[in-house]
Each structure stands twice: as structure tokens, then as C-alpha cells.
């Protein structure tokens, strides 16, 4: 953050995992549980242009190990909701100013455990406990700096859904529309249980050393195991059985070997190894712990009375959706959320055999309903027309 001497604060660009992000210093932040961060920076990306009255801003919130890279945009890296966001897409970046913010505590440019403290040392084990609500409060400070007093819409899936929901309840006046996909009103006992196992896997790795491993080899095995556990829960049993059955990986011999420890792998083991390796290459174990524990804390009704009382504070129009085969964020939770929301909120369904991950891979299924609910306003006819024209040309 050198060279910023203007009176008006400005973001600066940075490169995170091959993607250019903006990084904006929002200053000190008091945390919900009494902790404090003296100097918070949030990383974010934007697509499109904020219009004159700042009425076209859309916030898209990422999931646990996601980043701000929702859409490819001008980079060469695929985004995680590329199909949904872009010129001529349902969330049309010719029409909307789309923002995505790396969560507080993350490792994609925002202040997190790998960031330096005021003395220039990585926070590591000293990084404080943060909640979904803490991140949303930080994000609101960033929105202020960006000149966005009210979001046209805020949406997200999984932990991104938790963040979107928290936005709508914490800042009723600042969220006009809110889409909560594959996420309930609070993390459940089972989600907490699987999350605890993941955090313990990281802590069990001797290379974790309490979280102060920067500068040496990190807890890659522990993070990999955490990812394995998580990934099983992100997919359905039926998909695992259908894709892999009991097949061996290549020429390996999973059925055992007379050499102790010489057992080869089943395909499903190799698949999970691959998922683990991919995450370990791109994600920081401390951030995994911090964000996982933040997600465990997710409870939009905390300190707000009953769930319906808490949700009654929101003035947004809601869009709720679930994946029919999700066995981590069960459709039942989306139904319970929708029932507790003011008004009659339907639950849209992504039909997929693969489980939770379909909120990423099958988001296209929600596009007609999302477009009809949020993104077909006729009060912006010109822009809409040009978007349609673009779509026609592209088609």
C-alpha cells in the first residue's frame, strides 16, 4: 500500500493467483466477539460500470474456498460462475456493475492469517476469530468507499449464501434483492460436526505448528485431509458410486498387497487425492480454519430473537434455491429459511445427481428464474435491450 498520498482513499491493484484484483484499505475493524484488526484490506473484483446513481451494483459472494473471481472478465482464468455473469449473460455486465469481495480472513487478497500484522509478521495463530457478520460489516465499509449505498442485489451459494443472507438482515436498507442458494439460516449440527473434523485434520498435521508455519512447509497433508472430508460431503453418494464404483486407479492394486503399506488406491481415493492436491496448491490452511469456523458460526438469528423476527428486519426481495441431492446443505434447510422469510418465498430447485457442488456446476438451471425475479426490470429498458441484442449476436 505504498504511494497512496491522495486525500481520497484509492484501491490499488494486485495480482492474486494470476488474477488482477483491487485491494482497498478499509481501516481498523472491531469484531463481533471482541477481537480487533487494526488495518483491514479487502480484495475484490468488478465487472461492468457503476451507473450515475449507483443503482446497478450487484454483489456476488463466494463460498468457503472460493475467491472474488466469479467471472473470467478480461483475465484468462475461468470464473466460478462464468455462465451466469458476463456481457449478455443473466447478470449482464453491460448493464450491471458486479462486485465480488474476498471474505475477511481469506487468502485471495483480503486481510487474513497470512497477512502481515503492524509489526510486519504474519498473523498466523494470532489471527482473531471472525464471523460471517464480521465480514459483511467489513464489506459494507468497502461498499461505502465504492460509493454503493444500496445493492441492486446480493447473491451467493453455500457460504456465499450465508454472507448474502447476513447482508440482507444486517443492512436492510442496503440490499434490495437477495439470493440465497444452497444454504440455510444457520449452520446445523451436522455441518458443524463435519467442519470440526476438517479443522482438527489441519491442527493434527505436525506442520501446522499452531498456525505459525509461514516460511516453512505448511500443513499440506492436514489441509488435504480436510478437503477430502469436505469434498465427500459436497458430492452425493449416488454420484461417487456411479462414477467410481470399486474400480482401481489405473494399474494400482487397491485390494491389498503382501507388502505392508503397499496397498494401491481405488479410483475414488485417487479422485479425492486429486481434489486435495488442487486445494493445497491454492489455499492457505489458516484461512481454511478461520473461514470454516466463521461458517460454523453462521446463524442469521444470533442476538436477533427468533428466526422469523430476525428475518422480518430484512426488506429485500428474496430468492431461495436448493440442490435436490444436496446432503450437506439439505433442501429442507432452504425450505425452512423460505418459510421464515417475510412474504411468500418459493424454493427453487437445481435438479442434479451430484449433490451440493451443483450450486456451482448447474447454476444455469436457476437462470430463467433468477432473470425473471431480479434481472428483467423494465426500468432500465435501453440497457436491457442492448444486452438482448448482444445475446442475439453472440448466439
Chain centroid, CA 318 distance in Å: 18
Rounded to a whole number of angstroms, the minimum distance from the CB of residue 327 to its own copies is 7
* Residue 368: CA count within 13 A, CB half-sphere: 4
Of 8 and 189, nearer to its own copies (C-beta) is: 189
Least CB distance to its own copies at residue 304 (A): 13
Count of CB atoms within 10 A of residue 331's CB? 19
Q: Which is nearer to its own copies, 249 or 386 (CB)?
A: 249
Of 341, 336, 297, nearest to 318 by C-alpha is: 341
Torsion angle of C-alpha atoms 50, 52, 53, 59, degrees rounded to 10? 0
Comparing CB distances to its own copies, the nearer of 193 and 372 is: 193
Within the chain, what is the greatest distance between any pair of CA atoms?
72
Closest CA to 151 of 160, 164, 132: 164
Catalytic residue flag (residue 326): yes
Task: Say how far apart CA 160 and CA 183 lie, in whole Å.
Answer: 8
| HEC letters along 93-125 | CCCCEEEEECCCCCCCCCCCCCCECCCCCECHH
Least distance in angstroms from the C-beta of 70 to its own copies: 28
Q: Identify whether the C-beta of residue 38 lies closer than 8 Å to the C-beta of residue 109.
A: no
For residues 84, 87, 91, 95, the Cα torsion angle rounded to the nearest 10 degrees is: 180
- CB of 201 or CB of 314, closer to its own copies: 201
| Active site (annotated) includes residue 158 | yes
Count the residues in the chain: 395
Cell of 320: 431461495
State the DSSP string of 171-187: -GGGBSEEEEES--SB-
Nearest approach, Cβ of residue 387 and its own copies (Å): 42
356 tagged catalytic: yes
Reduced to 3 states (helix: H, G, I; strand: E, B; else coil), residue 251 is coil
Catalytic residue among 67, 68, 115, 158: 158
CA distance 225 to 244: 19
* Ligand-binding site membership of 357 (annotated): yes
For its own copies, give the closer residue by CB, 302 or 304.
302
- CA torsion sign for 48, 49, 51, 56 is positive
| CB nearer to its own copies: pick between 255 and 351 | 255
d(CA 325, CA 395): 32
Residue 134 assigned as binding residue = no
The smaller minimum CB distance to its own copies, of residues 180 and 300, is found at 300
DSSP 8-state assignment for residue 376: -
Q: What distance in Å separates the CA atoms of residue 22 and residue 241, rounded to the nearest whole number?
A: 42
Nearest approach, Cβ of 241 to its own copies (angstroms)?
A: 5
Say which DSSP state 147 is in: T
CB of 270 to its own copies, least distance (A): 10
Minimal distance, residue 151 CB to its own copies, in Å: 27
Name residue 341's beta-bridge partners.
Answer: none
Query: Residues 115, 326, 348, 352: which is the catalytic one?
Result: 326
Positions in the binding site for its own copies (CB under 8 A): 31-36, 125-131, 186-190, 192-194, 196-197, 200-201, 204-206, 210-211, 221-222, 225, 228-229, 232, 237, 240-241, 243-246, 254-258, 260-263, 266-269, 272, 293, 296-297, 299, 302, 327, 330
Known binding-site residues for substrate equal 227, 357
For the annotated catalytic residues, the residue numbers are: 158, 326, 356
Known binding-site residues equal 227, 357
Amino acid at each position: 500500500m505504498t504511494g497512496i498520498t491522495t486525500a481520497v482513499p484509492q484501491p490499488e491493484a494486485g495480482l492474486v493467483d494470476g488474477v488482477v484484483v483491487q485491494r482497498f484499505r478499509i481501516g481498523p475493524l472491531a469484531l463481533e466477539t471482541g477481537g480487533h484488526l487494526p488495518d483491514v484490506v479487502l480484495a475484490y473484483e468488478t465487472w461492468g460500470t457503476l451507473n450515475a446513481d449507483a443503482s446497478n451494483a450487484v454483489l456476488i459472494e463466494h463460498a468457503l474456498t472460493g475467491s472474488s473471481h466469479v467471472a473470467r472478465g478480461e483475465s484468462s482464468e475461468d470464473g466460478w460462475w462464468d455462465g451466469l455473469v458476463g456481457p449478455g449473460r443473466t447478470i449482464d455486465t453491460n448493464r450491471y456493475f458486479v462486485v465480488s469481495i474476498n471474505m475477511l480472513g481469506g487468502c485471495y487478497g483480503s486481510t487474513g492469517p497470512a497477512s502481515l500484522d503492524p509489526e510486519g509478521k504474519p498473523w498466523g495463530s494470532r489471527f482473531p476469530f471472525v464471523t460471517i457478520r464480521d465480514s459483511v460489516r467489513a464489506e459494507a465499509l468497502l461498499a461505502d468507499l465504492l460509493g454503493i449505498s444500496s445493492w441492486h442485489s446480493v447473491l451467493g451459494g453455500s457460504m456465499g449464501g450465508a454472507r448474502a443472507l447476513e447482508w440482507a438482515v444486517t443492512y436492510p436498507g442496503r440490499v434490495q434483492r437477495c439470493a440465497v442458494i444452497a444454504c440455510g439460516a444457520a449452520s446445523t449440527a451436522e455441518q458443524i460436526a463435519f467442519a470440526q473434523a476438517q479443522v482438527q485434520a489441519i491442527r493434527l498435521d505436525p506442520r501446522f505448528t499452531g498456525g505459525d508455519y509461514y516460511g516453512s512447509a505448511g500443513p499440506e497433508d492436514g489441509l488435504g485431509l480436510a478437503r477430502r472430508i469436505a469434498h465427500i460431503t459436497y458430492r452425493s453418494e449416488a454420484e461417487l458410486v456411479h462414477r467410481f464404483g470399486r474400480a482401481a486407479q489405473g494399474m494400482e492394486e487397491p485390494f491389498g498387497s503382501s507388502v505392508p503399506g503397499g496397498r494401491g488406491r481405488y479410483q475414488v481415493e485417487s479422485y479425492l487425492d486429486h481434489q486435495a492436491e488442487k486445494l493445497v496448491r491454492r489455499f492457505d490452511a489458516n484461512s481454511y480454519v478461520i473461514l470454516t469456523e466463521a461458517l460454523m458460526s453462521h446463524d442469521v438469528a444470533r442476538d436477533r430473537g427468533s428466526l422469523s423476527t430476525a428475518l422480518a428486519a430484512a426488506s429485500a426481495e428474496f430468492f431461495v434455491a436448493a440442490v435436490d441431492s444436496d446432503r450437506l446443505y439439505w433442501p429442507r434447510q432452504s425450505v425452512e429459511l423460505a418459510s421464515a422469510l417475510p412474504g411468500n418465498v418459493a424454493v427453487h430447485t437445481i435438479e442434479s445427481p451430484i449433490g451440493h457442488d451443483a450450486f456451482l456446476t448447474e447454476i444455469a438451471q436457476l437462470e430463467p428464474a433468477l432473470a425473471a425475479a431480479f434481472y428483467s426490470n423494465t426500468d432500465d429498458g435501453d440497457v436491457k435491450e442492448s444486452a438482448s441484442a448482444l445475446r442475439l449476436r453472440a448466439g
